[in-house]
Structure 1
Amino acid sequence: MEQKNKKKISTQTIIKLLLAVVLLGLSAFLLKGDVWTFWTWWLLAGVMGFAAMPVTGRLFWRFEDKGWIFSKVLAIAATGFLTWFLTAIRLIPFNALTCAAVTILCAVICFFLLRKESKEKTECFPVDRISLIYWEELLFFLAFLMWTYLAGFRPAAYGTEKFMDYGFMEAMMRSTTLPARDLWYSEGHINYYYGGQYFAVFLTKLSHTKVELTYNLMRTFVAGLAFAMPFSLVYQMMSDRMKGQQKSEKVIKGLPFAAGFTAGTAVSIAGNMHYVIYAQIIPLIEKLTGKEVSSYWFPDATRYIGYNPYREEDRTIHEFPCYSFVLGDLHAHVVNIMFVLLVIAFLYVWLRGVRKKTVPVETSMKDGKFWKEQLLMTHLLVISALLGMFQWTNFWDFVIYYVVTLGTVLFANIIRFQGKIKKIMVVTFAQMAEIYLLAYLVILPFTLQFDTMVDGIGIAKYHSYFYQLLVLWGLPAVLTITFVISILWEKLRGMEHKSLYRLMKAIRTADLFAIIMGLCAIGLVVIPEFVYVRDIYENGNARANTMFKLTYQAYIMFALTMGYGIYRLLAVSRQKVFKIISGICLFFLIWTVGYFGKSVDSWFGKVLNPSGYQGLYALGYLDTDFSEDVSAIQWLKENIKGAPVVLEANGDSYSGYERVSAATGLPTILGWYVHEWLWRNDTDDLNRKQADIMSIYTSQDETQVRALLTEYGVSYIFVGSKEREKYEDSLNNALLQSLGEIVFMDEDSGTYIVKVDVKRF
């Protein structure tokens, strides 16, 4: 028997090795020359995660895999944030050497922790669960590869807000200090949540790769983690819940995998019911009744409330991860997905451990040991640092997950302090004050240099139609409500003395955490119906940004709740009606995955034909869309070091203007108008700069032009297609060319660059 088991293990090992080799070969075949950069990032994440396991293994010691997937993100967060912090307070320069030095230093510290654990005979790496880690890594690799391959069919960093995202990366690649100089406002630094793009640059410098490739690789890297991290979390939640259940061994082992896989799918590649109704059901009815079949454009699922039917006074946004991954923006809310999932996982680990440590009723709050235990909880301290980081990566997520943390802490304290209201409220308040204070302190180098864009809270004048809310969020809301009712039904029926404390104590940790996530998600959907955060978008888009940021996170928490809740109801619930509802929800959730296929086909084209793969090079659009300027832009990228001011014509947001600053990271006097309006809220200043730029390009008064160039510290003047398009016959070519040396001239297109001779001014 023993020999037979050894043979079986050997066969399984060979199969796993062969599968790994096949996947590596497939990645080389699909990604062609880009595979080296892909492998570099995958290996870098793996090495960093492995090095961090002495820390991660302790924090996630209750996880079967000891937090393997989360270790990658924790390592990136710790090393990247520490590098940023030291750079922001001017202790180190921001370059590849310091990025590597900080990372190696953190790895050395982890190594000494590993040695300490070895002496203490504690386990930080689950050798006995290597099979689970293998499958998690396999899923991550597959998801990362799939999104990277798809990105190669439309790699251009052009369109929507890609100019901004890519430009931020180029600006930071040029800068040795942080925040970097604003590429669209040369007189100031970046006044936005640039942390997401920073992490992309940090990994780029650390891996010695190029922004032209890693712009796309960062978004596909996050997309891969957006599948693997939910899988790991919900796998563990379901595994915890199934302990002690009277089920067959196959069911006990299979349910966690199914739940985790469903959660990963729901977060990363599923859509919403808008796709099912408007792309599937309504067209089918129209076809059967002989009517003209409606077309479906995949962004419709994110522009529904206020657009169908159209309401001029209330146009909103309600995006979700799959849409972001397809569209290809590398915006704050996208990169922060991996850090958000890390915080959610930490909250679950903390809740699972701390609820078992019930504090005796007679314990006095005047005892110093009591407060030491309440305020020095490792997981809450780590969560505090991550929430502080959110103020720099995506401030909205700081507010959202501070509240989610509050809910989790409150629920835990109700159990720990056995329903004693005074202790619950005092300790909860103290812990939340501690978290807020620590989050505030760790991010001071950013907030001290940041001017807020928020202009207060407004009362919502307009509201969504109820049926539209049901279309977008009805499916996960129904599942959440069903799940909550089923738990109440199970626990309250046999409870003799009913109380909130007894109820929560009776609920398993995984169930309780799923309830917290589901209820928080419902709250995030409801909030924009009553209030919104005021900014520059007041006319017709007042609620848009608030709804966008809140419901984006609601979608993620709903997805996790569904991944767990569906299988929990199917496997554990004794009420047939709950099983039926969960089965129906699973059916429709699977149906929403069709959105992924629809959007991929619409945006990327025929992805089943590998010959259509263009590669990850993000600046390929210059050859086609800006052929007159491409040589000049490449000259700037290759020859200009540092961040001297390069003047180009400014234009409206989301347009082709600012193609020079976006592609090079070199600052110009003024860039996309509405974006700078949002970031600085000073239209008088922007209007003056806009007029001054026009004067430089069109005025025949040499004295005035020279004075303006001196005022703004312009080193180079770029004259290309957009400048000729905007200023036409008014363009003062002769005067501009006389202001210094013509360092680049394209005789065919007429594009040229003048290096301003400051000595003559």
Structure 2
Amino acid sequence: SGATLLYEVDGATHELNLPLKSFEFAQNGIPLTLNATMPQDGTITAIRFNYLSDPDYMAELADAETLRVRLDDGPFSQVNLNLTDQEEGVEIDLPDTAVSATTSLRITAEAGPGGLIRANTSILMNEHWDDLLPISTNGRNAYGSYYTEVTGGQRPVTSQDNDDKRREVLQWLDEADYIMISSQRAMWHLPRLPLVYPMMIKYYEWLFDGTLGFELVTEFHATHEIGSLYISDTGGTVSWGEAPEVGWPPPPEWAAEEAFSVYDHPPVWIFKKTDAYSHEQTAELLGNIDLSNPIFMNPQEATQAPDGLMLTAKEWLTQRANGTFRDIFAVDGALNQSPTLAAVVWWLTVIALGWLAFPILFVVLRGLPDRGYALARIFALLFVSYFGWILASYDVLPNTRGTLLLGTAVMGILSLILFLRHRHDIAAWVSANLAYIGIAEAVGIGLYLLMIGIRLGNPDVWDVIWGGEKPMDLSYFTAVLKSTTFPPYDPWYAGGYINYYYYGFVYVGSITKLLGVIPALAYNLILPMLYSFTGLGVFSIAYNLVESKDWQAAIEQSPIANLQTRLNKRAISAGLIATLLAVFLGNLAEVGVLTNAWYKAGNDALGSIPLVGNIMQTLDGGIKVLSGQPAPIYPSDWFWNASRAINANPGEVAPITEFPFFTFLYGDLHAHMISLPLTILALGWAVALALQTVSGKQFTVNGNEKPYATRNTQYARWEIALQWLLGGLAIGALRATNTWDWPTYLVIGGLAVLFWVWRKENGRFTLSAILQAIIFIILLVSLSILSFWPFANHYGTAYSSVSLWPGSYTQLSNYLIIYGLFLFFVVTHLVRELRDWTSSWTFEGMRRFEPAGPALIVALVAYVVLLLALIIRGYLIAPVVLTLITLSGLLGLRRELPAARRIVLILISSALGLTMAVEIIVLDGDIGRMNTVFKFYMQVWILLSVVAGVTAVWLWPSVQQRSKLVRNVWQTALGVMLFAAFLYPVLATQAKWNVRMNKSAPHTLDGMAFMPVTSYADTNNSTIPLVYDYEAIQWMYHNIDGSPVIVEAHNHSNGGFSEYRSITSRVAMYTGLPAVVGWDWHQRQQ
């Protein structure tokens, strides 16, 4: 305080602070009286005034001062002083006076001859939201009588760091004599937010190491002791012989959560200013801290994005110094000058990579009859892209063509090793499956050429109205290709990195970078490639499920004679049907678009006819439209409306109901498009594991004793490990490609593990089987997480929780418009399965069910209760969906069911379960439930395509055996729905071709070729020829080194013209160069 009484006890000096905050002594003025109580027996020896100064001090007119003090009524002790304007401590000896404890003391002080004397007390700084130290006790008011706080009281150390706070920190450091930290609340919390509190983190660091000119004079820290062992729960540390130190830096993660200490034994630190403190030095230290870009984050956001989604200085320097466009892409090379040649070489490269990877899948996907042949090309790109990505993510090798070539070589070496180990098996398989290989290749190239033809109709990678989000896609894609390390730099926010599930661009970028094809051309080759991968992948899985029955029989019975030497037409048909449903047909909503167009074209007078007016008007309009009259609807309605087929309340954003053909036709290279082949690879892995033979028997081809399908024991352990590594990689890739797919396929992978273990244990879930399943599921999940850890470590998302959906629910009619064709196959299949099951019932067989009777009754009651609850809640699709899920599950429990049929039932339950789930829950932060429905409905479409393809060929013989009436009704219903589904590709494709900015622009795969012949009109009614942009971009391709930051016009989404309709960001789009800022809403989402 301002004055301290000194006394001795047994030769040791003790101090008693006296109640003095501020006082001014003047000759003949009012004396100062201080009252105190002696705390213990002792001898008073002196008094010290801790902060004395001359308030009128002037160096040239300095006056001497006199101060005298006495204890009670004793004699005065006097001291002569020469004070300045700088405060100093002055000690005045008193006559030794023995005083007993609790004695009341009165100290009187007054000024003698000379100038004025000012006495002050210690100025203490405390932190806000914490205890004020010292605490007032025993009637002694700490800040009423003893101490003074810094200006403003307890200081807001947790307010955001900025220039104002910097000045505030300097002020309190200048003022404070002591800094009191009464707990770890702020000091250990703020470092968790390094981007919010860069200054405060340095403040605490410099406080503890003495840089600020303060020293730690005392610390209070409660510990637990066991003999000489000291344990600090607060600091998470132990020591021997003395208490461990706590303070700075903050303790490790295993320290107790702060709530366990701050309320009853918080650590306390007290710092005292020393002569080393310097205002100038402190101002310089604080001034060197960069506060130019303040970022506010809460702890959860900081945990998700500890780097604030910004590249480090070193990473940013590396990215800008590299990525020269002309070095990565052969701008003037043959492929970029001839799109046709590029398309041919591209596909040949895909086939070559698939063949190179096939020996790996031959071993890993040994549960599939086609041994993963059709999936090999999907896996090949995954292997090569992952090799380059993981090394660049850990800064081992840069993201260059050389690294990708090295990855290709590594894949080739691994394939060669496996080929040499299994060459007889592979040769036998190839010899027996040449016809299948030919058909698979035909399907693959057929789909590739089909989508190339569709792209040629409208290859423009931008459109002022229907360009979609191609600017974002191409910007991100090009930036990923140009990035030297990962995460890739953000082309729409210079200095940041792409906070998006960007791995899909790495995946498709691998072949782009290997061949040096410029992104605008590669864009129109990637779409056909992904289209082919998706269709061929679905073909493979459906084929394998149908083929597996004969294939498994061959494994069990050996030899299989001619089973593998002839083509299984039913399996091929299943694959083709599944492909047709997955990537070519649309939903049934195009019927509504067509009839609406006809109705609007019809004579309004006909609509007034009672009962049949609408029909008459529609038929009239239909005749006119078919006769050549333009349909009076927006041209885009033909391809757009079917993707918004679910009802929504007024003011509610309608859910997206995309399906693969719309996705590829619209042509946005989005995450959900790129992930389609990867989801099929993950599904293929799951099906392969589920179908994997567990009998251990070998089988031969035409007497050849060289086995090519056996159980795990015939494979080396490292080959078995490859199976799990591929599963983890394929599923993990979904997290970094389209995160929405990751949980779904983790569940499907987990179900496959359960099914595989169940089959291994002869259809029993013993304790051993349960433990095995848990271990392998944990292994699969862990591999999927760890394989893409660098992505997860940088990816920050605000959308990580779900809640109940409060809006409108899907009408059953809308649901049937989307999935009616699929449900036609599903329902027919379940009816057939149910009939097959019930027709095999016997009295003896039913008696075996008696022990399970109570459980079945409970399950039935639960089903009825749940169904009623869902109906009351308003879930209109529940009666259909829940019934089909329950029936699928019940039919799947039959012990005698072949594996493939059980897998199909599992897929039915899984797919329909997803459609029910999005009726109930929604991702927090979604726009309505737009993306929640959209992302999961895409998954359902693929799963049900496989199911429909397989069940179609299983059903056909049974249908043919029905009565003519039943057969005709079934076939007619199927024909009507197929016709309705065919309407979409027929009508939508032509419409999409007609929405070009310049219909006379070249029909070429070069996505920029439209620019030299196209003009753009902005909101000022000015026409801008894009040829100049085109020429400027071409110049940049040839002349700009590295990836320097560019500045281009920015259009705010809240302005009069949406960025979707503007020309902004086109330089970043076509060059991948980092712009200061891109599209407004997209960057806010990041």
TM-score (normalizing by structure 1): 0.76
Corresponding position of 1:733 = none
| Cα contact 1:528–1:546 (8 A) shared by 2 | yes
SS of 1:458 mapped into structure 2? strand
Per the TM alignment, residue 113 of structure 1 is displaced from its structure 2 partner at its CA by 2.1
Contact 2:368 2:692 in 1 (8 A): no
The structure with higher relative contact order (CA 8 Å, sep 6+) is 1
DSSP 3-state at the match of 1:297: helix
CA spacing shift, 1:288–1:571, aligned 2, 3 Å: same
User: How big is the shift at 1:605?
Assistant: 4.5
| CA separation of 1:181 and 1:349: change in aligned 2, threshold 3 A | same
Alpha-carbon contact 1:153-1:612 (below 8 Å) kept: no
Of 937, 955, 966, 1:551 maps to: 937
Which whole-Å CA distance do the structure 2 matches of 1:472 and 1:493 have between them?
33
Equivalent residue letter for 2:517: T
Instruction: Report the counterpart of residue 737 of structure 1 in structure 2.
Output: none
Q: Distance in 2 between matches of 1:453 and 1:671?
A: 20
Choose from 547, 554, 570 the match for 1:239: 547
Q: What residue identity is the alignment partner of 2:385? A: G
2:372 maps to amino acid: G
Give CA deviations for 1:220-261 in whole Å, capped at 9, x if unaligned. Answer: 10111222222222223223346789xx99998432222211
Q: Which residue of 1 aligns with 2:742?
A: 398
Deviation of 1:437 after TM superposition, in Å, equals 1.2
Q: Secondary structure at the match of 1:643?
A: coil
Q: From 627, 630, 646, give the equivalent of 2:1030.
A: 630
User: Contact conserved, 2:740 with 2:935, CA < 8 A, in 1?
Assistant: yes
Quick one: which amino acid aligns to residue 56 of structure 1?
A: L
On the 8 A contact 2:689/2:753 being kept in 1, the answer is no
Q: Which residue of 2 aligns with 1:336?
A: 675
Equivalent in 811, 828, 831 of residue 482 of structure 1: 828
Tell me how far apart the structure 1 counterparts of residues 687 and 800 of structure 2 sit (CA, whole Å).
34
Q: Tell whether 2:1059 aligns with 1:673.
A: no
Equivalent residue number for residue 78 of structure 2: none
Give the counterpart of 1:66 among 332, 355, 371: 371
Shift of 1:662: 0.9
User: In 2 relative to 1, CA 340–45 (structure 1 residues): closer, same or farther, beyond 3 Å?
Assistant: same
- In structure 2, list runs of 5 or more residues that go unmatched: 1-335, 555-561, 600-611, 623-631, 698-712, 853-889, 1017-1025, 1054-1058
Q: Is 1:319 aligned to 2:654, yes or no? A: no
Farther off after superposition, 572-581 or 225-234: 572-581
Please say which of residues 156-165 and 431-440 is displaced more in the overlay.
431-440
Amino acid in structure 2 at the alignment position of 1:302: S
Alpha-carbon distance in structure 2 between the residues aligned to 1:589 and 1:511: 25
In structure 2, relative to structure 1, the CA distance for the partners of 1:265 and 1:111 (3 Å cut) is: same
Measure, in 2, the Cα distance between the counterparts of 1:606 and 1:242: 49
Select between 276-285 and 562-571 the one with higher mean Cα deviation: 276-285
CA distance, structure 2, for counterparts of residue 105 and residue 275 of structure 1: 48
- Aligned match for 2:962, one of 576, 591, 594: 576
Q: Distance in 2 between matches of 1:601 and 1:501?
A: 44
What are the within-5 Å matches in structure 2 for residues 395-434 of structure 1?
395-417=739-761, 418-420=763-765, 422-423=767-768, 425-434=770-779
The answer to whether the Cα contact below 8 Å between 1:200 and 1:215 also exists between their aligned partners in 2 is no
Q: Which one of the candidate residues 606, 616, 624 is aligned to 1:289? A: 616
Unaligned runs of 5+ in 1: 1-30, 359-368, 680-761
CA shift in 2, pair 1:216/1:585, >3 Å: farther
- The answer as to 2:990 corresponding to 1:601 is yes
Cα–Cα, structure 1 residues 124 and 460, in superposed 2: closer, same or farther, change >3 Å? farther
Amino acid at match of 1:673: D
Q: Write the deviation string for residues 630-687 of structure 1: whole angstroms up to 9, x where unpaired.
A: 33333323221222110112223423321111111111121111111112xxxxxxxx
Partner of 1:55: 360
Contact persistence 2:401–2:514 (CA under 8 A): yes
Residues 593, 423 of structure 1: CA spacing in aligned structure 2 closer, same or farther, 3 A cutoff? Answer: farther
CA contact (8 A) 2:456 2:1004 kept: yes
From 615, 631, 639, give the equivalent of 1:298. Answer: 639
Higher mean C-alpha displacement, 378-387 vs 436-445: 378-387
Aligned mates of 1:478, 1:583 — CA distance in 2: 11
- Who is 1:272 aligned against? 587
1:155 paired with 2:459, answer yes
Q: CA RMSD in A?
A: 3.4
Q: Quick check: which one's helix share is greater?
A: 1
Q: Secondary structure at the match of 2:586?
A: coil
- Which of these residues, 797, 808, 817, is aligned with residue 452 of structure 1? 797
2:840 pairs, out of 477, 482, 494, with 494
In the alignment, which of 914, 917, 922 is matched to residue 524 of structure 1?
914
Per-residue CA shift, 1:404-424, capped at 9, x if unaligned? 223333344444443436555
201-210 or 635-644: bigger deviation: 635-644
After TM superposition, give the deviation of residue 57 of structure 1 in Å. 1.8
SS of residue in 1 equivalent to 2:740: helix
Q: CA deviation at 1:170?
A: 1.5
Cα distance in 2, alignment partners of residues 531 and 174 from structure 1: 39
Alignment coverage as a number of residue pairs: 626
Tell me: CA distance 1:62–1:530, structure 2 relative to 1, closer, same or farther (3 Å).
closer
CA distance in 2, matches of 1:121, 1:127: 10
Distance 1:185 1:471 in 2: 41
Alpha-carbon distance between aligned partners in 1 of 2:755 and 2:824, rounded to the nearest angstrom: 22
Contact kept in structure 1, 2:1002 and 2:1009, CA below 8 Å: no
2:896 partner amino acid: A
Structure 1 distance, partners of 2:891, 2:659, is 35
Counterpart CA distance in 2 for 1:383 and 1:585 is: 40
Identify if the C-alpha distance between structure 1 residues 67 and 414 changes in structure 2 by more than 3 Å, giving closer, same or farther.
closer
Provide the C-alpha distance between the structure 2 equivalents of 1:613 and 1:620, rounded to a whole number of angstroms: 6
Correspondent of 1:203 among 508, 511, 532: 511
CA 1:514–1:672 in structure 2 vs 1: closer, same or farther (change >3 Å)? same
Give the Cα separation in 2 of the matches to 1:564 and 1:219: 27
2:898 to 487, 493, 508: 508
How far apart are the structure 2 equivalents of 1:334 and 1:180?
20
Task: State percent identity of aligned pairs.
Answer: 22
SS of 2:1060's equivalent in the other structure is: coil
8 Å contact kept, 1:650–1:670:
yes
Aligned to 1:131: 435
1:455-513 C-alpha deviation (Å, 9 max, x unpaired): 42121011222221122123313422332342233235425235779944322222222
Contact 1:357 / 1:416 at 8 angstroms: preserved in 2?
A: no
Work out whether residues 79 and 106 of structure 1, in 8 Å CA contact, stay in contact via their aligned partners in 2: yes
Alignment of 1:99-118 (within 5 A): 99-118=404-423
Residue identity matched to 2:989: V
Distance 2:655 2:750 in 1: 28
Say if 1:234 and 1:621 are closer, same or farther in 2 by CA, change over 3 A: same
The aligned counterpart of 1:9 is: none
Aligned position for 1:34: 339
Tell me which residue corresponds to 1:718. none
Residue deviations 1:273-317 (CA, integer Å, cap 9, x gap): 11244436995898851345675522111112246xx63124211
CA 1:592–1:395: 2 relative to 1, 3 Å: same
Q: Any idea what SS the aligned residue of 1:179 has? A: coil
Q: Counterparts of 2:355 and 2:800 in 1: how far apart (Å)?
A: 44
Amino acid at match of 2:1048: E
* 1:222 partner SS: helix
